[in-house]
Structure 1
Amino acid sequence: MRTLIKDGTVLSPSGGVRADVLVTDERITAVTEPGVVETADTVLDATGKYVLPGGIDAHTHLEMPFGGTFSADTFETGTKAAAWGGTTTIIDFAVQAKGTSLLSTLDKWHEKADGNCAIDYGFHMIVSDVNDGTLKEMETCVGAGVSSFKMFMAYPGVFYSTDGEILRAMRKATETGAMIMMHAENGIAIDELVAAALAAGHTDPVQHGYTRPSALEGEATSRAITLARVTGAPLYVVHLSAAEALSAVAEARDAGQNVFAETCPQYLYLSIEDLAKPGFEGAKYVASPPLREKRHQADLWRGLRTNDLSVVSTDHCPFCFKDQKELGRGDFSKIPNGMPGVEHRMDLLHQGVVAGEISLGRWVETCSTTPARMFGLYPRKGVLAPGSDADIVIYDPAARQTLSAETHHMAVDYSAYEGFEIAGKVDTVLSRGKIVVSSAGFTGSTSHGNFLSRELCQYLN
């Protein structure tokens, strides 16, 4: 089966060129000058459109347990929504509960995902119980294609790890070449601020932002970087939201340390003003780290341009407003933390291109190529080249759309970007050569997605 995508502008981190892309079965077999290949079983005309590697969202939480409930998107609904938005690979987090093993956790997440994904997927492992058994199992996980481990400096009593526990895990990562991913907020201090706010009768959603100040994200990021430097471990800071944290990452990278960071669209476009919306409306925007003051946004865009921020992921962790976010009425600390976004990442970052914040090449790099290299998927994913998987997005920059809960495909009852007018829209999506989204709608299947056994990060010195 041969598919020809003709006359598009083929994008890569170096920019765009007019070219044709030939797909045979599941792989790309040629990227040529226009007109070299004349016939194929299926011909897709990409005139006036971009042709780019499928997006890789390296940070999702599907069917994630949190605060007595579960994130609303299943692997089926979440991966379908991702495909609608031009994302053809996700890396989800398998969540180790206290007192359980990493391997039993990994088995559980395989059971959730196997046969239920519309696109390809991999796993990171959340490490919440550091002990001799866990450290040994980290080696086994790397051999099983799970080469990255997330730890938390936040959420005491749930996911939180002490500095000593983090140090032990980082030593194991140094031995195995694995990546430590860090949720960097000072959870001990934050809990004190939360308790003080509640004692004073301050219960509204905006208090979530006030009690998690950006300085405590900066402090925790600096501490994580120091622990990584002492152990020699690579460090990837997840969902970076604050200028103070970015400054610490930039300083470490300038010194040659293997420190990387991602940010998320919500920190580029939303702010604490959304958390402060009247009534209980701000609960829709409760996530950790919290939305910041708008002044941080310019720093984050600058970080994307300079590569101090290497990746844009979503931290997609959707909880419905009704019955889930509402668990925190009268006590902001009980609002489930997380926001929906897996469907809109590619579109929202394209607005950065339109506004002149980033280039077309940087759009592709932060959303696809760098996550592929960062998490051991390149060149199978993240590039349009002979031999690579035919994960391809045809994107129409001239189209217009308005984001809304009425039209999105995520299993959540609100949109964090309700009413946003977007320049550009996904036209067609191929996952391993199969058209899964087109003008005909979603034409894929929930059994299409394969588990991806990942190699080590390609950026380590």
Structure 2
Amino acid sequence: MTIDLLIRNGKVVTPQGIVEGDIAVQGGRIESIGRSVASATRDIDARGHWVMPGGVDPHAHIEQMSGMGVMNADTFETATLSAAMGGTTSVISFAAQAKGQRLADTVADYSARAKRGAIIDHAFHITVTDTSVPGFGDDLADLIGAGHRSLKVFTTYNIQLSDREILDTMALARQHGALVCVHAENDAIIARAKEELIANGHLRPSDHALSHPAMAEIESVARMCRFAEFLNQPVMLFHISTAEGAALVRDARARGVPVWAETCPHYLFMTADILDQPGLEGAKWMCSPPQRTTEDQDALWAALKGGDLQLVSSDHAPYRYDETGKLSAGLDAGFHEIANGLPGLETRLPLMFDAMVSGGKLGPEAFAQITSTAPADLYGLTQKGAIAVGKDADLVIWDPDTQVTYGENDLHDNVGYNPWVGRTIKGWPVHVILRGQTVMQDGVFHGAADAGRWIDRPTLATQPTGAL
């Protein structure tokens, strides 16, 4: 038989270990690994290169309005193009409920946006902001049953739910088989810290870090772990930034609580010092929670190594550094008037490869696990995240010797700046394959604006695999 695609001679990272050999692809799926195949329609020589699963980024904001009323910079086309150029082949973004909106209408709206332009495969977390809408429970049950099996709630901002609403939403999720994701920061602590800073005239972007004290994360993470324990409901804690937050997750998991957690590259590679720039320049790096300390960085790496944190997402939240985004409140804006977030879909994998594979921090197998396999397993992307027979042929070929220094504006999103400017990366994605088709080769895009497919995820009949 002549197969569709053969990738020869690569160092293939599979869940069972590293295999030096070939990958055969037929009908968009992996047909065999390691076994020589005589004839193929297309042939790629990966000698001297790593072959990794396509990246799965489970935390990105795309075509979404911020709580401050600022639309982020990316469409599904620009965001997923950027993702593909950086080696990510599946993304989970948010279908964010507006106040008073039926959840069914929310998901229909975002689905239409994605259908117009998604270049890679995608799914949604349903962001719940208003549980009082008529039919809320029925809509939620129907959507979970239709394959939207993860929700998001906030404990802060003007879209937060009360503790009772969070518990009630968790109970519904448990009943119908969904994972609940949480932005966990204590709103009262943030409000008090912010008001004190403003009253004393501390308005620079660097003051943003002080407005989100570590204690805001610590208190809320502890509370959400107890909520998960109380209901025995699976919970994913987003963007852990502190040593104490990681320790709380570790302790909860040791008690048998069904809780998981992620961190992001900006917490692993940046500290709060990055916000201290001339004028409003520091706004480019503002995110919530903010970057922390080198001690927190060390603790987060240790938590990834020990399995206390399971994955690394980008938390891609793109706003241009102009009047449409970060500077929408003017050139004299205080930190509290500046949209939070930075782009990351395109840079997440190169940054992690540089540290974990080239830098030897945790190694190539851990890299594949943390950036692809774990997010696919935890969020129910059953055909994604691993190089295994029968899985979708989502593959990335990495040249371990290529070095790239990031420039001012060299990403493929619509943000207009690169928050990693000046950083040199060793190891680069040179060939990206989605379901057996090349979408990027040697820095040239080969995909199509509507090639991405929605990923139907089964309900959470049991706890996610690879767990406790």
User: Does TM, normalized by the shorter one, top 0.5?
Assistant: yes
Q: Tell me which residue corresponds to 1:141.
A: 143
Secondary structure of 2:143's partner? Answer: helix
Determine which of 375, 389, 395 is the counterpart of 2:379.
375
Residue 98 of structure 2 corresponds to residue 97 of structure 1: yes
Segment of structure 1 superposing worse, 384-393 or 83-92: 384-393
Superposed displacement of residue 424, structure 1 = 0.4
- CA displacement 1:417-457 (0-9 Å, x = unmatched): 01110010001011011101002710100111000111235
Relative to 1, partners in 2 of residues 1:47 and 1:167: Cα closer, same or farther, differing over 3 Å? same
Runs (5+) with no aligned partner, structure 2: none
Count of residues in correspondence between the two structures: 456
Which stretch of the first structure deviates more once superposed, 405-414 or 209-218?
A: 405-414
Counterpart check, 1:308 vs 2:298: no
In 1: Cα distance, 2:233 partner to 2:99 partner: 24
Indicate if the aligned counterparts of 1:12 and 1:365 stay in contact, CA closer than 8 A.
no
State which drifts further: 54-63 or 345-354: 345-354
What is the rounded CA distance, in whole Å, between the counterparts of 2:62 and 2:39 in structure 1?
41
CA distance in 2, matches of 1:14, 1:360: 12
Report the counterpart of residue 366 of structure 1 in structure 2.
370
What is the alpha-carbon distance in structure 1 between the residues aligned to residue 453 and residue 32 of structure 2?
Answer: 23
Q: Which residue of the partner structure matches residue 5 of structure 2? A: 3
Q: 2:334 aligns with which of 327, 331, 335?
A: 331
Partner SS state of residue 408, structure 1: coil
Q: What residue in structure 2 maps to residue 447 of structure 1?
A: 450
Deviation sequence 1:360-416 (CA, Å, 0-9, x none)? 1110001101111001112x1111122111111011111111122432111111111
Match of 1:392 in 2: 395
Which letter maps to 2:361?
E
> Which letter maps to 1:220?
S
Q: Are residue 458 (structure 1) and residue 447 (structure 2) matched? A: no
TM-score by length of 2: 0.95
CA RMSD of aligned residues (A): 1.4
Name the counterpart of 1:118.
119
> Are 2:148 and 2:457, in contact at CA under 8 Å, matched by a contact in 1?
yes
Report SS of the residue matched to 1:65. coil
Please name the residue that 2:32 is paired with: 30
Question: What is the percent sequence identity of the aligned residues?
Answer: 37
Check conservation: 2:20, 2:34, Cα contact below 8 A.
no
Task: Please give the alpha-carbon distance, in whole angstroms, between the structure 2 residues aligned to 1:327 and 1:385.
Answer: 47
Contact 2:29 2:436 in 1 (8 A): yes
Contact 1:312 1:367 in 2 (8 A): yes
Cross-structure match for 2:131: 130
**Is the contact between residue 377 and residue 454 of structure 1 (CA under 8 Å) also seen in structure 2?**
yes
- The corresponding residue for 1:277 is 277
Cα deviation, 1:225-244, whole Å, max 9, x if unaligned, reads 11111111111001111111
Which residue of 435, 438, 446 corresponds with 2:438?
435
After TM superposition, which residue ranges in structure 1, 4 or more long, deviate above 6 angstroms?
none
The match for 1:166 is 166
Amino acid in the other structure paired with 1:114 = K
The TM-score, its normalising length taken from structure 1, stands at 0.96
Distance 1:213 1:13, change over 3 A: farther
- CA shift for structure 1 position 14: 4.4
2: CA distance between counterparts of 1:13 and 1:286? 36
Amino acid of the structure 1 residue aligned with 2:19: V
**Counterpart residue number, 2:420:** 417
How far residue 286 of structure 1 moved from its aligned partner, in angstroms, is 0.8
3-state secondary structure, aligned to 1:327: coil
Deviations 1:254-287 (A, max 9, x none): 1111110010001000110001222211101111
- Give yes or no for contact 2:430–2:443 (8 Å, CA) kept in 1: no
Match of 1:48 in 2: 48
1:114-154: CA deviation from partner (whole Å, max 9, x where unpaired):
13111100011000112373233221111111101100011
